[in-house]
Amino acid sequence: MAILKVARLGHPILRQQAEPLTRSQVRSAEIQRLIDDMIETLHEYEGVGLAATQVHMPVRLALVEVPSGEGREAVALTVLVNPNVTPLGDERVYGWEGCLSLPDLRGVVPRQRRVRLEALDRQGRPFELEAEGFFARVIQHECDHLDGVTFVDRMDDLLSLSFLREFERHVGLETGPIED
């Protein structure tokens, strides 16, 4: 396994539409190795999600893993292949987001409160689930990457865009996510 280089905002790969994978491609040694390397990379950078485009691979593959803490429910490592997200309802919520491709930046982003996710798992088997709150936010964030969209593209305005150090100093993590 290897820790992969994460593309930063400005690299053209982050604006590309990722290509779907076939079930046989998902099961291939190359994609299984990519998944393992993405898991190691996600853990190394202490992220909660990572899209293949962020590690310079234009395929529709992402990971989500949320540790418990900061008022969040834990989410076990979930591999998303060819994910499709459908909003459940019209309710949108605002919350702080960051991104491994925009290191040290945070901003307030509106997202759907609840979503349905349809995808293939690591073995190429279809699954679906419903998610809400932070889990739904991470799913939407990672799926956006697969469509060439970053969180700053989703911000209503850039007034909340902050460097992490200033965010911690002036906004503070004790405020938690903005959910309403």
Positions annotated as catalytic residues are 142
CB 107 within 8 A of CB 157: no
153, two tokens: 């593209």
Q: What is the C-alpha separation between 39 and 89, in angstroms, rounded?
A: 32
For 92, other C-beta atoms within 10 Å of its C-beta total 11
Residue 63 phi/psi, 5-degree rounding, is -125, 150
Helix (H/G/I), strand (E/B), else coil: 42: helix
Q: What is the C-alpha separation between 160 and 175, in angstroms, rounded?
A: 14
Q: What angle do CA 89, 144, 108 make, to 5 degrees?
A: 75
Q: What one-letter code names the amino acid at 89?
A: G
